[in-house]
Amino acid sequence: MTRRWLFGLITFALTVGLASAQSLDSGNAELRAIARGISAARIRADIHHLVGFGTRSSLSDPSGANGRGVGAARDWIAAQFRADRRADGGRLQVRLDAFTQPPGPRVPQATTMSDVIAVLPGTDPNDHRIFVVGGHYDSRASNILDPTVAAPGANDDGSGTSVVLECARVLSQYRFPATIEFIAFEGEEQGLDGSRHAAQEAKQAGQEIVAMLNNDIVGGDNTPGHANTDRLRVFSEGVSPAIDAAGLRRLAATGGEDDSPSREIARFASALAASYLPDFHVVLEYRRDRYLRGGDHISFNDAGYPAVRFTDFFENYNHQHQTVRVANGVQYGDLPQFTTPSYTADVARVNALALAALALAPPAPAHAYFLPRLETGTSLRWDAVPGAVAYRILLRPTAAPQWTERRTVHGTQAHLDESKDNYFIGIAAVGAGGLESPPTLPSLPPFRRRPAAPAAH
């Protein structure tokens, strides 16, 4: 054992501390203020305003001239972002990202669509991380190809768009080292068109998107007996469909299929909610999305970015993708009276807390390694992170869904009594304000081939 390694063990023994089992520290005053700033009244007004456009079908009037259709909705969303820009002193950068969607099964002819984007630049020129929150502003009725029929889209996805708008209003009043992007996507109902365009553009530009939070159907459907009041699902992919053979072998050997970057973002958001919103529960769903359904986060997953979907715990399909009508005494249609703005406000708080905590915390360690030795405990080391004042070692039994223990340590190496055979282990960086990054999971260090022995003579 080297002197440096011994010093590391002593340092760990002196500085390790225990934190809350599943939740993060709720003592950050800035995060508490951000959560208080979210308004259910503004969210209610936004949903009603979006419904007021009659339809937001991507095949409807794109001009915005008569106050009805997708173009009018697009222009109104951009105006809301520009109002935030005036309020924050001009920091929020607002633009329309127009693209031409070629003909396809749900797009009869080439159609111009537009994502509405507001960027809150980070204050640290050396921090290139980007955190994205999105929802789609287009809507549909039973016949997706009919752009003339009413398609109010209160829950799907006026609610998600209202979350994006509310997060922009509140977070633009603060400063973060990293960049936050607020995106209202078009063309989700036509086949994830706007989000696919945005993800591909980000990939081609080499953007460092660390997390994408998608909000789709977060209105809190209030159907009696299945009303949403305090539970929100967060869906996250485990194994990427783009994984190569070597990656699959590694997952098979280590059991790491539940620790994808997307799944760690889901755990991060769930733990924050447990700390700052103890009466509102973010339920981990170990699936990419619901059966037979999809959302805009999938476009970012397919581009290789960590992305998750927030959605109602219960869904009522009478209120989704339905032409507004009454049949056999049942009201069909995605109408605002079936939404619960106070629930959506809590969803917005989850998003705003996650975005702020991620953007304020330092990056996760680039690499973390198990020391390649057979031992009863676990020896670790990891890369130092600029700006980190400490690190947290996260542990959970291999069958546990959420991290169950957090230990604060100074230095970049440690020894645990717990065996890596029995626990999953992560390393998070901690900033000066006490906020931690998502964890990096250790692996074995890169294999180094020994130099060949000299040939015998």
Give me the pLDDT at residue 252, please. 85
The one-letter amino acid code at 133 reads V
Q: What pLDDT sits at residue 227?
A: 86
In this predicted structure, what is the pLDDT of residue 447? 58
- Nearest CA to 74 among 64, 89, 83, 82? 64
For residues 107 and 383, give the distance between their C-alpha atoms in angstroms, rounded to a whole number: 48
Q: Is 38 exposed, middle or buried (0-12, 13-18, 19+ CB in 10 A)?
A: buried
Distance from the Cα of residue 407 to its chain's centroid: 25
Look at residue 445 in the predicted model and tell me its pLDDT: 78
**Within 303-340, where are the H helices?**
none
Give this prediction's pTM: 0.92
- List CB contacts of 2: < 8 A, sequence separation 6 or more: none
- pLDDT tens digit string along 346-379? 999 999 999 999 999 999 999 999 998 888 899 9
Kindly give the parts of the chain with pLDDT less than 50: 1-20
Q: Where in the chain is the domain with CATH 3.40.630.10?
A: 38-360
pLDDT at site 15: 35
Q: Which amino acid belongs to residue 71?
A: G
Q: Which tens digits make up the pLDDT trace of 209-245?
A: 999 999 999 999 999 888 888 999 999 999 988 888 9
Task: In the chain, list all ranges with CATH 2.60.40.
Answer: 3-26+369-430
CATH architecture for segment(s) 3-26+369-430: Sandwich (2.60)
Long-range contacts of residues 79-84, Cβ cutoff 8 Å, at least 24 apart: 80/46, 80/165, 80/168, 80/169, 81/116, 81/118, 81/165, 81/168, 81/182, 84/118, 84/168, 84/169, 84/172
Tell me, which fold does domain 38-360 have in CATH? Aminopeptidase (3.40.630)
pLDDT score recorded for residue 453: 54
| Lateral strand order in the sheet of 129-136 | 93-101, 111-120, 179-185, 129-136, 208-215, 307-312, 231-236, 281-285
- Give the list of residues 6+ apart from residue 245 with CB closer than 8 angstroms, or none: none
Cα–Cα distance measured from residue 153 to residue 133, given in angstroms and rounded to the nearest whole number: 19
Return d(Cα 424, Cα 13) in angstroms, integer.
20
Residue pair 135/222 in contact (Cβ under 8 Å)? The answer is no
Provide the angle, in degrees to the nearest 10, between the axes of the packed helices 40-51 and 70-87: 150
The predicted structure's pLDDT at residue 225: 87
3-state helix, strand, coil in the chain (%, to 5): 30, 25, 45
